[in-house]
A and B are shown apart, each in its own frame.
Chain A
């Protein structure tokens, strides 16, 4: 708890006034009294305006949920104003939070009858649960005689949701639901052309293809495939985070790429009507069952914002339960550095699920020691990357495609190939 204390300026004025008055009387120098008088008045006015009540302030954050890169207002509202001449607030912001003004310090002169407010604009530059910074408040009484603080104010927290960059991809290979935008293998009433076939009972008259009918002499109709939704499981590997993260404005670590890619994939699949589930393999182990709709997307982003890199309590195919029904497409976002995660992928693929790996470790993400040939860590990184290449080869051998994250279009080719493959008969081991 802070309290009011005299300022250095008041001490200076008092000492000087006393010293000069004594000297003026002792030496008989009225000019010294001329110099002493203003400081004496300052001393007296400062003492006369000694404040009695403690300074209290509230911290208000306009938005508690933001996307990384967005900004919100942080307001500091001092409770009492009539005894205060100036209120100063300094904001010590943590990493990945940028304040405006950039100095992180503001002062305001309270006016009678008006609520004084100090307003910062804070912007989280990286996803996650972030503090808006430690604010310290200080106040000066009228005529600069007394000072309160600096006193620490409670910190406000903001959840920075990962940025969902524009993403599009091809259709998923196993549409199994009722409504959606993925072409199903079964015929149905939609706008997706399938074939021109002989007319069948139940076909609508407007589907009749008159040109073929006239040419062949038999009534033909345009056949369409049904459009269905599919189920997507996003599996985020948060066991490791490689590379430096500078937030939105700079370099991205492997986990940054993973989280932002998961957010973009979730946004895309929910937009086309798919059911999306999430499983995080990391210290926090978030899991969310399949669902669709904007509210579900928001929930997914909230969980992604809370991801923390680290080793989960139990990591192994035997211990993990995935809410993935038949036909679910599993999209694994991983830097491919953890053999246990590779085992999980292979286990899911052996269950008959379609697994796609999105590689979040691009060459530019590798840390400096991995690229600098002069450092001893270079050798360790080489070994690690050889192990990673072995894992990639192993999953490829099991029919699991690995594609680096490139944003829109990353999965087009691979999903097309998987859709083609899913239509072929295959032998499954049980």
Chain B
């Protein structure tokens, strides 16, 4: 006879979570716009797929759709005729923003309030990652006119790997 009725509580994602998920779409849009500004002319269905993947990643940030989104954004950039346009840094910023926003959003359920300390920490990391992209772009611009381009590639990759290892070492020490 007893009917135990629990309180009906509907909890919706907060403004911070919505903002974070909107940044995923905004990052993808920035990458696509930068590619188009650099001369890329993707088909509309290709753009449709990229934005559909962006929406899916915003809804499910832990899903495999994120790989498709970033690969799609990189493909759209690859359609640009100018290989070393400075706009590649805008595209890189957009892709990093989309990736990191999805990463932070995936750290808990959608209804969870985003931790401010995490946002600040990842904002600094986004800047670091973008600076790395800028360094690589600068090196690329410097070596693109060299006669031995393939040698430059090999050297560049080696330098990048060594730099990455050194950075990891340094950051691991500072964290520990």
Residues of chain A having any CB pair with chain B under 8 Å: 7-9, 11-13, 15-16, 19-21, 23, 25, 27-35, 37-42, 44-45, 48-49, 82, 85-86, 88, 90, 94-96, 98, 101-109, 125, 138, 140, 142-144, 240-247, 249-250, 253, 255, 309, 367
Contact = CB atoms under 8 A, between A and B. Distances in A.
A9 B102 contact: yes
Given A86-B107, A109-B118, A103 B112 contact: yes
Contacts of A15: 67, 71
Nearest to A105: B112
A107 B108 contact: yes
A9 B62 CA distance: 7
Contacts of B125: 143
Contacts of B109: 90, 103, 105
B82 to A, nearest CB: 8
Ranked 4 nearest A-B pairs via Cβ: A95-B6, A241-B2, A105-B112, A38-B129
B3 A35 contact: no
Contacts of A249: 7
26 contacts: A9-B106, A12-B66, A12-B67, A16-B70, A16-B71, A19-B74, A30-B143, A30-B153, A33-B140, A33-B160, A38-B92, A38-B129, A40-B160, A49-B175, A86-B107, A88-B107, A103-B14, A103-B111, A105-B109, A109-B115, A109-B118, A144-B107, A243-B3, A244-B5, A309-B2, A367-B1
B49 interface: no
A46 to B, nearest CB: 10
A218 B80 CA distance: 125
Nearest to A38: B129
Contact of B5 (A32, A109, A246): A246
Interface of B: 1-7, 9, 11, 14, 61-64, 66-67, 70-71, 74, 77-78, 80, 83-85, 88-89, 91-92, 95-96, 99, 102-103, 106-109, 111-115, 117-118, 121, 125, 129-130, 132-133, 135-137, 140, 143-144, 149, 153, 156-157, 160, 164-165, 167-168, 171-172, 175-176
A241 B175 CA distance: 59
Contact of A35 (B88, B111, B164): B88
A103 B11 contact: yes
Given A27-B78, A45-B171, A94-B6, 20 more contacts: A19-B74, A21-B157, A31-B80, A31-B140, A32-B74, A34-B92, A34-B136, A35-B95, A39-B95, A90-B109, A96-B7, A98-B9, A107-B113, A109-B115, A143-B125, A144-B103, A144-B107, A250-B7, A309-B2, A367-B3
A413 to B, nearest CB: 31
A42 B126 CA distance: 10
Contacts of A108: 115
Given A23-B78, A245-B4, A30 B83 contact: yes
Contacts of B129: 38, 41-42
A9 B60 CA distance: 12
Contacts of A241: 1-2
Given A16-B70, A41-B164, A103-B11, A31 B83 contact: yes
Nearest to B115: A107
B133 A35 contact: yes
Most buried by B among A13, A30, A246, A250: A30
Contact of A247 (B7, B9, B83): B7
Contacts of B172: 48-49
A8 B3 contact: no
A31 B11 contact: no
Contacts of B136: 33-34, 37
Contacts of A85: 118, 121
A15 B68 CA distance: 10
B78 A242 contact: no
B99 to A, nearest CB: 6
Contacts of A19: 71, 74
